[in-house]
Amino acid sequence: MKNNLHKIFDFLHQAEKLKSTLRYNKTRSGRQESTADHSWRLGLMVFLVVGELKLDLNMERAMKIALVHDIGEALTGDIDAVKIAEGKFQKADKTKLELAAMHKLKNILPASSGAKIYSLWQEYEQGKTKEARFIKALDKLETLTQLVDVGYRTYDKPEFIANYADNAVAEFPALREMLNIIKQKLKKEFEKGDIPWKKEYGQFVS
């Protein structure tokens, strides 16, 4: 029986580009972080956080969403949230580019696999299921964790950073404690760099 492994390898060839798709953040070694770096640790967080908090959700589905949530960036590159917040790039344009990218990637794969990945990506984008809301919140928390990792010297937009995960976590309140822990660490970094920590960021004991 003929299989579709050649199509899967064609898809993986495209997905490899995520290893070289650079994000806004850096790693502790000083190199630019890639989308693949981010997605890997997000997947690790899914496994650890679902178990620790005993969350009532489908972990396998959440893991799959984490793996594919940024897969379109293999073709579009990373369109940073800072650019959208500053009006340098329109969210509607980002959505249009990513939608086109996902159609291309879906069509590389066997029909069944392509449909599954596209459906998981759509689920994340729409944010209607608890698994999608969980990954949307955890995605922001992974980014904040990376900012804590690299420290205050990279904080060129402190107000944007401090509030970055608030709305997403509000949509999945079970992660509020995790957000508070990360913000406490973030506040210490702000203090190291003499960056004002405003009351609206959250009040924590240093």
User: 85-134: per-residue pLDDT in tens?
Assistant: 888 889 899 999 999 999 999 999 999 999 999 999 999 999 999 999 99
Distance between CA atoms of residues 94 and 80, nearest Å: 10
CATH code of the domain in which 106 resides: 1.10.3210.10
Q: Which residue has the tokens 């997905």?
A: 15
pLDDT score at 204: 72
Domain membership of residue 44 (yes or no) is yes
For residue 92, give Cα distances in angstroms to 84, 96, 135: 10, 6, 21
- Judge residue 200's burial from the number of C-beta atoms within 10 Å of its C-beta, 0-12 exposed, 13-18 middle, 19 or more buried: exposed
Distance between CA atoms of residues 92 and 98, nearest Å: 10
120 Cβ contact partners less than 8 Å away, ≥ 6 residues apart: 61, 64, 65, 68
Distance between CA atoms of residues 157 and 178, nearest Å: 22
Domain membership of residue 152 (yes or no) is yes
Q: Considering its fold, how many domains does the chain have in total?
A: 1
Give CA 96 to chain center in angstroms: 19
Low-confidence ranges of the chain (pLDDT < 70): 1, 205-206
pLDDT score at 82: 83
Domain membership of residue 167 (yes or no) is yes
pLDDT score at 133: 98
Q: Work out whether the CA dihedral 192, 197, 202, 206 comes out positive or negative.
A: positive
Domain membership of residue 206 (yes or no) is no
Distance between CA atoms of residues 174 and 157, nearest Å: 27
Domain membership of residue 124 (yes or no) is yes
Distance between CA atoms of residues 21 and 106, nearest Å: 19
pLDDT score at 206: 53
pLDDT score at 86: 85
What pTM does this model have? 0.95
Containing structural domain, residue 139: 5-201
Domain membership of residue 93 (yes or no) is yes
Of 161, 153, 175, the C-alpha closest to 81 is: 161
